[in-house]
Amino acid sequence: MKGASPVRHNIIANFAGGAWVSLINLAFVPFFIKFLGVEAYGLIGIYISLTALFAVFDLGLSFTLSRELSRLSVTEDSIQESRDLVKTFEAVYWGVGIFIGLVIVSLSPFIARYWVNPQGISTDTVRITIMIMGLSMAFQWPASLYNAGLMGLQRQVLINVVRVVFTTLQYGGAVLILWFVSPTILTFFFWQLFIGVTNTLVLRASLWKTLPGTRLKAGFSGSLLKKNWRFAAGMTGISALATILTQLDKIILSKMLTLEFFGYYILAFSVANILSQLVSPISLALFPKFSQIVAGGGEESLASLYHKGCQCIAVTVLPIAVTIAVFSKQILFLWLGNPVTVQNTYFLLTFIVIGTAINALVTLPFILQLAHGWTKLSFFKNVIAAILYVPLLIWLARDYGALGATTAWIILNLGYFLFEIPIMHRRLLKREMRAWYLLDVAVPMIIVCVTILLFRMAMPAGLSMNFEFLWIVVTYLFCVFLLAAALSFTRGMIYTLFQL
Q: What is the pLDDT of residue 500?
A: 39
Q: What distance in Å separates the CA atoms of residue 497 and residue 494, rounded to the nearest whole number?
A: 5
Residue 180 burial (CB < 10 Å; 0-12/13-18/19+)? exposed
Q: What is the pLDDT of residue 75?
A: 63
Least confident range from 58-72, 116-130, 170-184, 376-390: namely: 58-72
Q: What angle do CA 61, 65, 69 make, to 5 degrees?
A: 170
The predicted-structure confidence for 160-215, as pLDDT tens digits, reads as follows 889 889 989 998 999 999 998 888 889 999 999 999 999 999 999 998 888 877 77
Q: What distance in Å separates the CA atoms of residue 64 and residue 53, rounded to the nearest whole number?
A: 20
The continuous run of DSSP H or E covering 53 comes out as helix 38-53
The predicted-structure confidence for 39-53, as pLDDT tens digits, reads as follows 887 888 788 777 777
Q: What distance in Å separates the CA atoms of residue 430 and residue 274, rounded to the nearest whole number?
A: 32
Q: Letter for the amino acid at 208?
A: W
Pick the more confident residue, 4 or 6: 6
Residue 35 has pLDDT above 90, yes or no: no
* Residue-averaged pLDDT of the chain: 83
Q: What is the pLDDT of residue 236?
A: 65
**pLDDT cut 90: percent of the chain above it:** 29
Residue 142 burial (CB < 10 Å; 0-12/13-18/19+)? buried
Q: What is the pLDDT of residue 1?
A: 34
Residue 285 has pLDDT above 50, yes or no: yes
**pLDDT cut 70: percent of the chain above it:** 90
For residues 378 and 421, the answer to whether their CB atoms sit within 8 Å is no
Q: What is the pLDDT of residue 61?
A: 73
Residue 249 has pLDDT above 60, yes or no: yes
Residue 10 has pLDDT above 80, yes or no: no
Q: What is the pLDDT of residue 319?
A: 95
DSSP 212: P
Question: What are the distances in angstroms from CA 130 to CA 7, 103, 158, 393?
Answer: 40, 11, 32, 26
Q: What is the pLDDT of residue 492?
A: 61
The predicted-structure confidence for 305-326, as pLDDT tens digits, reads as follows 899 899 989 998 999 999 999 9
Q: What distance in Å separates the CA atoms of residue 96 and residue 102, rounded to the nearest whole number?
A: 10
Residue 62 has pLDDT above 90, yes or no: no
Q: What distance in Å separates the CA atoms of residue 228 and residue 224, rounded to the nearest whole number?
A: 6
For residues 357 and 275, the answer to whether their CB atoms sit within 8 Å is yes
| Of 428, 451, 282, 433, residue with least CA distance to 368 | 428
Question: What are the distances in angstroms from CA 398 to CA 225, 253, 344, 405?
Answer: 43, 9, 18, 9
Mean pLDDT of the region 333-352: 88
Q: What angle do CA 176, 182, 185 make, to 5 degrees?
A: 95
Mean pLDDT of the region 299-303: 85
Residue 2 has pLDDT above 60, yes or no: no
Q: Letter for the amino acid at 466?
A: N
For residues 252 and 391, the answer to whether their CB atoms sit within 8 Å is no
Residue 4 has pLDDT above 60, yes or no: no
